[in-house]
Structure 1
Amino acid sequence: MKTLRLGLLGFGNAGRAFAKILEEKKQEIQGSMECDIIVTGITTGSRGSLYNPEGIDLKKAWSELEKAGHFDKDGKNYCEMTSLEFVEKGEYDVIVEMTPLDIFTGQPATDHLRRAMERGKHAVSANKGPIAWHYKDLKELAEKMKVQFYYETTVMDGTPIFNLKDETLKFCKVTEVNGILNTTTNYVLEELATGKAYDDVIEEGKRIGFVEADPSMDIEGWDAAAKVTALLNVLMEADITPKEVDRTGIENITLKDIQKAESQGKVIKLLCTGTRTDGKVKASVKPTLVEKGSLLSVISGTSSVLQITTDLMGKLTIIEHDPELLQTGYGVFSDVLRIVRNLV
């Protein structure tokens, strides 16, 4: 039986969700794929790191973080190794990039992936930054080094968008994408429509977990811009960055705007679009009026939707209904399984 060694950069909610799936499915993977997947290193920014080339006890690792908020400093696998140090010196076959997103540079996540691939290691990214800012360079490096590079979790959690294009839409050319990709703005617009004040909506959203501590990246459209950029870079070979997206957020949308849309039989949604015109891909993120009763109008809460138009299969629509951390963890898990399958 072969062994695949993973290095996990970051061990937040998504990382722990992935680790739990990996542990739960361990025997099934061994039985059906004849592969033992182990984790040799876990690095975090402020909670310590773990390293053991023979494999880390994942149950113990996530239990320590969930109970104490920090790895046990007296544990035999505890260390202060940084993510970059592990990437450059650690023993692993696949690096899994799950560090916090820098939406304006894609760093240091991009360097983590680049250094790993330069060592001949496979790479999985749950971080959308590298795909939005440096996808072409990373893809070319992966091809040069003959390593696998996957990133399913970067848009719509574990929903198989990139897998769909790679595995089942062979020779299809994507000509347009559009969708609702930011769930925070969904929530805020819906709550504003009930007459609540903007500040009250934000505070309530933070309390129940729909809104980040700093909501500006969502409200101003940056998160959506990074997601549509990642989609276009992969699906349409756009080679653009979030700064090239025609971006308008929802920070200036008022109850009056929402009521005016209502009077016209429409609702406001933050819509992401990408089209190819005269050989160049153009992207936008804008509050858009959509007809009530249409598919886009009923996407609510934490749900997302993506419509992909192709030359051979027409328009396809993918909806993710109210995802939780399990789906995010599964996106990483599915990428790791692709690597296992391709190593057979």
Structure 2
Amino acid sequence: MHKLALIGFGGVGQGFVEILSQKEQKLEKDDYSFLIVSICDLYKGSIHHDKGLDLDRVLDSIKKTGTLELYPDSDELIRGWSSQETIKKTNAKTIIEMTYTDVDTGQPAINHCEQAFNQGKNVVMTNKGPVALAYHSLNQLAKEKGVRWLFEGAVMSGTPAIRLPLTTLTGNDISEIKGILNGTTNYILTQMEDGMSYKSALKQAQKLGYAEANPSADVDGFDVLYKVLILANVVLGIPLKREDVIVEGLSALDSEAVIEAKSNGDHWKLIGKLKKTENGLEASVKPERLSSKDPLSAISGATNAITYTCDLSGPVTLVGAGAGIKETAFAVLIDLIEIERSERL
């Protein structure tokens, strides 16, 4: 039985609990068994039980109050642990880190990772910040402590944008990685192709929940920037930093240019790109006009896609959801299954 502690219990955390509840029989049939013993959230509360929590009662309390306060007390139930106390005191084998993280500092998730590794516990996370900003130091610490650190959901949610190149494409020299790594901007550009202004398309994206009230992280390219940093560090093994990446958002791109391109069979996309050259690695996030021959050109709406240019297998393009509660929660599950598989070898 693989015991888990959840640090942060927002939409993805709740989605993960729902997946475990719904897929319990299938997972057990495949010989995978997971037990949540701790949940800690700054606003929803904190509960722990050494022998495991009742997931139906957890979800019922959240549904009724938005907190864990209705979860039934017992002699063995512990309430009120902070995130640091949970990481230190829980009997979980793996910490699932899903807090809101400052992408400028990577905190508090970087501290949570360090604390977990030092306690001999694995970490599975969906946060971009720690991977983009502190990959090499955290990866080294995890290796020193003999634990695993996995973060598939940090780039394209449940679509295996990290696992594919690290496993299936192993043996290739990847000379270029480029992708549509933000569904919000791709949705906006798709709407602009149909004649909508940038401002109107942004408002529509906000109305549908694709864009935040402050959309800067998406439309100014910063969300893609951090994903580019992750791909450089993790997939290519190159210690890229923020200042090494050229970043341009959508603001300079007008509707006329987008419509004109479409009329000629081309499409504007916000592209995150890494390209190996004789002078080193070129890295950028910026709008690019793609011809119809480019597989990324046809990707519309909020869908994400990424192309790996390989010397042996040629270009390989992966298309899928880049966000979503269920999809990101699934990324957590596949990372946990990867830990289990690796221990059985």
Q: Is the contact between residue 103 and residue 222 of structure 1 (CA under 8 Å) also seen in structure 2?
A: no
1:29 deviates by 2.9
Q: Is the contact between residue 238 and residue 280 of structure 1 (CA under 8 Å) also seen in structure 2?
A: no
1:17 deviates by 1.6
Which piece of structure 1 moves more, 167-176 or 155-164? 167-176
Q: For 1:51 and 1:273, locate their aligned partners in 2 and report how far apart those are by CA, in whole Å.
A: 43
Q: For 1:262 and 1:111, locate their aligned partners in 2 and report how far apart those are by CA, in whole Å.
A: 47
1:324 deviates by 4.1
2:222 corresponds to which letter in structure 1?
W
- 1:23 equivalent among 3, 8, 21: 21
Indicate the residue corresponding to 1:223 in structure 2: 223
2:140 corresponds to which letter in structure 1?
E
Indicate the residue corresponding to 2:61 in structure 1: 64
1:303 deviates by 0.8
Indicate the residue corresponding to 1:10 in structure 2: 8
1:42 corresponds to which letter in structure 2?
I
Instruction: Please give the per-residue CA displacement for 1:110-137, whole angstroms capped at 9, x wherever unaligned.
Output: 1111210111111111111111111111
Q: For 1:311 and 1:19, locate their aligned partners in 2 and report how far apart those are by CA, in whole Å.
A: 41
Indicate the residue corresponding to 2:39 in structure 1: 42
Q: For 2:30 and 2:233, locate their aligned partners in 1 and report how far apart those are by CA, in whole Å.
A: 34
Matches within 5 A, 1:253-272: 253-262=253-262, 264-272=264-272
1:334 deviates by 0.5
Instruction: Please give the per-residue CA displacement for 1:31-88, whole angstroms capped at 9, x wherever unaligned.
Output: 432x531111111121212211211112221232233211216742463322222123
Structure 2: any 5+ residue segments left out of the alignment? none
Indicate the residue corresponding to 1:98 in structure 2: 98
Indicate the residue corresponding to 1:110 in structure 2: 110
Matches within 5 A, 1:108-187: 108-187=108-187
2:66 corresponds to which letter in structure 1?
G
Indicate the residue corresponding to 1:337 in structure 2: 337
* 2:79 is equivalent to residue 79 of structure 1: yes
Q: What SS is found at the alignment partner of 1:39?
A: strand
Indicate the residue corresponding to 2:89 in structure 1: 89
Matches within 5 A, 1:197-276: 197-262=197-262, 264-276=264-276
2:33 corresponds to which letter in structure 1?
D
Which piece of structure 1 moves more, 237-246 or 214-223? 237-246
Q: 1:262 to 1:29 in 2, by over 3 A?
A: closer
Q: 1:323 to 1:249 in 2, by over 3 A?
A: closer
* 2:51 is equivalent to residue 54 of structure 1: yes
Q: Is the contact between residue 72 and residue 78 of structure 1 (CA under 8 Å) also seen in structure 2?
A: no
1:264 deviates by 4.7
Q: For 2:59 and 2:280, locate their aligned partners in 1 and report how far apart those are by CA, in whole Å.
A: 46
Matches within 5 A, 1:278-317: 278=278, 280-292=280-292, 294-317=294-317
Q: 1:79 to 1:308 in 2, by over 3 A?
A: same
Q: Is the contact between residue 156 and residue 322 of structure 2 (CA under 8 Å) also seen in structure 1?
A: no
Q: For 2:239 and 2:11, locate their aligned partners in 1 and report how far apart those are by CA, in whole Å.
A: 30
Structure-2-length-normalised TM-score: 0.91
2:6 corresponds to which letter in structure 1?
L
Which piece of structure 1 moves more, 163-172 or 51-60? 163-172
1:293 deviates by 6.3
Q: 1:280 to 1:142 in 2, by over 3 A?
A: farther
Q: For 1:140 and 1:43, locate their aligned partners in 2 and report how far apart those are by CA, in whole Å.
A: 27
1:36 corresponds to which letter in structure 2?
S
Q: What SS is found at the alignment partner of 1:170?
A: coil
Q: Is the contact between residue 156 and residue 321 of structure 2 (CA under 8 Å) also seen in structure 1?
A: no
Which piece of structure 1 moves more, 314-323 or 84-93? 314-323
2:312 corresponds to which letter in structure 1?
L
Q: For 2:7 and 2:260, locate their aligned partners in 1 and report how far apart those are by CA, in whole Å.
A: 47
Q: For 1:183 and 1:67, locate their aligned partners in 2 and report how far apart those are by CA, in whole Å.
A: 31
Identity %: 32
1:83 corresponds to which letter in structure 2?
S
Q: 1:311 to 1:139 in 2, by over 3 A?
A: farther
Q: What SS is found at the alignment partner of 1:297?
A: coil
Which piece of structure 1 moves more, 49-58 or 164-173? 164-173
Q: For 1:284 and 1:322, locate their aligned partners in 2 and report how far apart those are by CA, in whole Å.
A: 19
Q: Is the contact between residue 17 and residue 326 of structure 1 (CA under 8 Å) also seen in structure 2?
A: yes
Instruction: Please give the per-residue CA displacement for 1:166-225, whole angstroms capped at 9, x wherever unaligned.
Output: 332333332210011111001112223333343333232222112122211001000011
Q: For 2:262 and 2:166, locate their aligned partners in 1 and report how far apart those are by CA, in whole Å.
A: 40
Q: For 2:29 and 2:189, locate their aligned partners in 1 and report how far apart those are by CA, in whole Å.
A: 48
Q: For 1:201 and 1:245, locate their aligned partners in 2 and report how far apart those are by CA, in whole Å.
A: 27
Q: What SS is found at the alignment partner of 1:99?
A: coil
Structure 1: any 5+ residue segments left out of the alignment? none
